Structure 1
Amino acid sequence: MIGIGNRIHHYRKKNQLTITALAERSGLSRSYLSNLEKNKVVNPSINVLNKIAEVLSIDVLHLLHEEAKNECTSE
Structure 2
Amino acid sequence: MKLAELKSEFQNLIDQIDDLEMLSQFYDVITQSLQPKNSVWQGLTPKQQQDVLTAYEESEDESDLISLSVLKSRYRELSC
Q: TM range, normalised to the smaller chain? A: under 0.3
Q: TM-score, normalised by structure 1?
A: 0.23
Q: Which has the higher contact order (CA 8 A, sep 6+)?
A: 1
Q: TM-score, normalised by structure 2?
A: 0.22
Which structure shows the bigger proportion of residues in helix conformation? 2
Structure with bigger gyration radius: 2
